[in-house]
Structure 1
Amino acid sequence: VASMAAFNPGPWMSTYYASKAYVLHFSEALRVELKQSAVKVSVLCPGPTRTAFFRTAQLDSDKIKDSKLLMSPEEVALYTVRALEKNRAIIIPGRRNRWFAFLPRLGSRWLNRTIVGMLNKAYCPR
């Protein structure tokens, strides 16, 4: 399991974002390496999900707890099972999340890290 964080640099949460980018790229590489075997590799990149993640990471979840951006764990799981049945390489539940994964390709790297940094700074405790 990676995250939507895998598609951007993540100021104020740099280790988390970097580890998710590692999981994404490692999984994609393994998929190619294992193509001739019976092993199938997919990587799940969920967006914000209503779980204990925010509390565990000590993030300010009050600002987003009622957001339409959050998916339920059940929605993520159902989408994931369907994508696994189709042997998808990268699984990104939710149309909005797929757009957010694509958008960094359209902007400059400076713009991407600046926007993500501003968002993370607003939600990360200091």
Structure 2
Amino acid sequence: MKGETFKKYFLLTVIALGAGVIYKVAYMREAFYDAMLSGFQITNTQLGTISSIYGTVALISYLPGGILADKVSYKKLLTLSFIGSGVLSLWCSTMPSFGMIKVIFGLMGVTTILTYWSAFVKTVRFWVVTKR
């Protein structure tokens, strides 16, 4: 019983921290708007474009994400999400071209919503609701 409780709270802590971190790059424009414009050497319109790409991919990813979470282990999805988002964040930190930034933010929509969000919701529901 003690081991089960520790596992439950450890897992919830990891995914809660993950939820706080995984979206930082996708939404960094909230805090670093001017720095992003000058660092990436892009315009306001281009920053809006990459935000729109992320939002569109994210919106499209919600429904298949739920289906995917029902068919694939939450551990695999969470791991894939963390690794994928980490690699994309590192790639973004190299100040790539605008074309590559569009690819990065499109893929961020996949790693943060398609694979992470659905697994996050399923995990919390399972460990909090059913494992009381």
Do the two structures share a fold, i.e. TM-score over 0.5?
Answer: no
TM-score, scaled to structure 1:
0.29
**Structure richer in helix, relative to its length:** 2
